[in-house]
Structure 1
Amino acid sequence: MQPNPPQPGFPQYGQPTPSGPPPWGHTARPKSRANTPAAVTAGILALLAAAMLVWFALYNVFVAVEANGGLSGITVQNIVSGTVASVVLVVAAGFTFARRIPGAWTLFGFCVFSVVAVFAGMPLVGGTPFGSQVKWLFSFDDSDSTAMALMIVFSVLAAVAAAIAASVKSYGKKS
């Protein structure tokens, strides 16, 4: 008994998939990508937010060295969290620049998370009253509060642009 001969147009079990366009005259649907203008805008805003986080981390390094010559617990926390968050933002911005829809949603989620963490997470962990945290953030009296306030502004704008980039899909060739 011999196996059935392959049928034209449909791959058989165990047979390699034919390359090229489908034989029935239809072309394959192009892969959806994030909206180009919104993805570029979100990526640029995310890079600006990452720059503000680096500014915040560097400010803490300089204050620690100038003030007491050593690193306190909160200073180490600020340096590590600022550095890690900026790296994550840059990676998510890169995937958003590449117009990847999951990258744009990741950028959106991380921007929202970082804003909520600064407003609500840090006061809960550090025991700071919410009003004092908001006053510090938007007082613009020190360089670190200015960096965090600008990071919040850029993160909110990047989150909005990333959500638009991910939800308004483009089809066609990669540009």
Structure 2
Amino acid sequence: MHPNPPQPGFPQYGPPPMAGASAQGVGGPSPVAPPKPRANAGAAMTAGILALLTAAMLVWFALYNVVHASGPAGRWSGVEVQNVGFGVLSVGALVVAAGFTFARRIPGAWTLFGLCAVFAVAMLFAAPLLWGTPLDAQLKWIFGFGKSNGIAIALAVIFAVLTTIMAAIAGSVKARG
């Protein structure tokens, strides 16, 4: 079989049509699609590991609030309910985004970037605004490494910032294949 001759008035670009394929592309072998871009392997693995470390710190913080922070009557205050709820929801979201980042999916890396950026800002600045805590007291509590829950949040903030950086690198440095 001979390839179709070029049509007058329409220049032919690209590879010649495949043998046995009709004009609509039905009935013959399909051309092989190029591989989709994926997140950088090293950065995606590093971002995923840092995300799991951030999730572990949030689990530590939530468990501290479950076990040690209940009041004398055995009831939780509003802050403790918020801490446990935020911890559980954050861990779930981080683990899912870390899984997609491990799979080198670019949207997963950018989702992880957004989540960790929001978490870092929320833990540092939004929580004191919500509860009326002065910012310097919040920063002293977080980075003072005094109590177990302060250590957990400090490490969660540090890991969240590092995860944000690595997820941005993983999402922006694309690899084929």
TM-superposed deviation, 1:72: 1.3
Q: Work out whether 1:110 is the aligned partner of 2:115.
A: yes
Match of 1:124 in 2: 129
Deviations 1:94-150 (A, max 9, x none): 000010000000000110000001111111110111111101100111100000000
Match of 2:75 in 1: 70
Match of 1:97 in 2: 102
Distance 1:170 1:101 in 2: 10
Distance 1:17 1:97 in 2: 38
TM-score by length of 1: 0.84
Q: Any stretches of 5+ residues in structure 2 without a counterpart?
A: 1-19
Match of 2:30 in 1: 20
Distance 1:17 1:91 in 2: 40
- The amino acid of 1:168's aligned partner reads V
Match of 1:10 in 2: 23
Instruction: Provide the aligned C-alpha RMSD in A.
Output: 1.8
Q: Any stretches of 5+ residues in structure 1 without a counterpart?
A: 1-6, 22-26
Match of 1:4 in 2: none
Distance 1:18 1:65 in 2: 69
Residue 64 of structure 1 aligns to a residue in which SS?
Answer: coil
Q: Given the alignment, which residue of 55, 61, 75 partners 1:56?
A: 61
TM-superposed deviation, 1:88: 0.6
Identity level (%): 54
Residue 175 of structure 2 aligns to a residue in which SS?
Answer: strand
1:89, 1:107 within 8 Å by CA — same for their partners in 2?
A: yes
Q: Given the alignment, which residue of 44, 47, 58 partners 1:42?
A: 47
